[in-house]
Amino acid sequence: MSGEHHSSTISAQVRRVEALLEERGLLAPGEVDQRIDEFAAGGTPANGARVVARAWVDPGFRDRLLADANAALPEVGLSMAGGLQEQRLKVVANTADVHNVLVCTLCSCYPIALLGPSPSWYKSEAYRSRVVRDPRSVLAEFGVTVPEATGIAVWDASAESRYMVLPRRPQGTDDLDEAGLTALVTRRGLIGTALV
């Protein structure tokens, strides 16, 4: 079965389930699209950048974030709620010993609330298959050279679980406040395909 045919079959099934829910009065017409739009509207990489900057300046928040990200997010006014159930978020920290990178090998599961809409390359079959097999080469294509002594951990998202990378704080940023640090963090850094 070709990927295009499979996708159109699933789309047709989803539309049929949505229509049945509307017919039975369980959903208002257009409610699914409205909720998706509302959820996506609040999602931006600036949210993830705020979380990272707070973790860089507040060691207690960093510890709580790494232990239970869902419980720590409300401290900065964020959450992983937005769908029918809260998604589990695990934040993984880059260190001198390990560099983390994210992928969803099955589709493109991704923490939209914290990183905004996923980039097209994240959804591509090439990225999804290659980053698992040869992460060092894929990272090099993004301009990230990870020392041979540093391990690379690839985190595979799922429908229930999402991941976000906590990049290492850049050297020479001791004079920056939280807002200044927030401005340094990129969406690619939150995915692991950039250092910050």
- What are the pLDDT digits (tens) for 111-124? 999 999 899 999 99
Q: Which CATH architecture group holds 44-191?
A: Alpha-Beta Complex (3.90)
As to burial, measured by CB atoms within 10 angstroms (0-12 exposed, 13-18 middle, 19+ buried), residue 184 is middle
Which residues are the active-site residues?
104, 107-109
Q: For the chain, give the mean pLDDT.
A: 89
80 against 62, higher pLDDT = 62
| Contacts within 8 Å (CB) and 24+ apart, 135-138 | 135/101, 138/101, 138/193
pLDDT value, residue 15: 79
Segment 29-57 shows an average pLDDT of 82
pTM of the model: 0.80
